[in-house]
Amino acid sequence: MKKIGLLTAVLSMIFVLNVFAQIKPELDPMKPRVPPDMIGKAKALKPPIPATPENIAAGKELFNGKATCFTCHGNEGKGDGPGAIGTAVGPRNFTNAEFHKAKSCGEMFWVASNGSKGVFVKKDAPSNPEGSGMVPYLNGHNSDIGLQGTPTVDEAELWKIVLYERSLGGGKCE
């Protein structure tokens, strides 16, 4: 009897987490997350490696492995990972082609390196006035916007991940 109770509790928790992750909305993914005084530099960042199938596959492995991106962005990059429960706003869905048209690879690399304050968080999530869109993941780099990071990858690895994320929505890193 006890076992059944526990099982029911665990199953309900998984259900709640799932529903929660799926319904936490993204804030407008088309709007820049890089502050205006830094966006020129961010857009100019280009991958030092080409988007070959090998580099994209390596990026996928990092994304779903030691880089931990999958915990929030989901195993397929749809923005539906359970880690979203701890973020102020919904994680980006990288399968959205419109997002890739609106943003450059440089901006994506910049946000993964420096984090995002969730520019619009104040208005939309008053319970978290400072916001935590995303924290920085680049090893040995101090966030230009003063966020505390969880470094998991070096520059070469992060570029591979960006190439992978880009491939999910048909975007190129020209």
Sign of CA dihedral 122, 127, 131, 133: negative
**Distance between CA 92 and CA 43 in Å, rounded?**
18
The CB-of-120 to ligand HEC minimum distance in angstroms stands at: 7
- Is the Cβ of residue 9 or residue 170 nearer to ligand HEC in the bound state? 170
State which residue, 13 or 85, has the beta carbon closest to ligand HEC. 85
26: DSSP letter: P
Residues near ligand HEC (CB under 6 A):
27, 29, 33, 67-69, 71-73, 83, 86-87, 89, 91-92, 103, 107-108, 111-112, 116, 118, 133-134, 137, 152-153, 161
> Which residues are CB-neighbours of 164 under 8 A, at least 6 positions away?
56, 57, 59, 60, 62, 63, 77
Q: How far is the CB of 103 from ligand HEC (least distance, A)?
A: 5
Closest approach of Cβ 4 to ligand HEC, in Å?
33
Task: Quickly tell me which residue has 């830094």 as its tokens.
Answer: 38
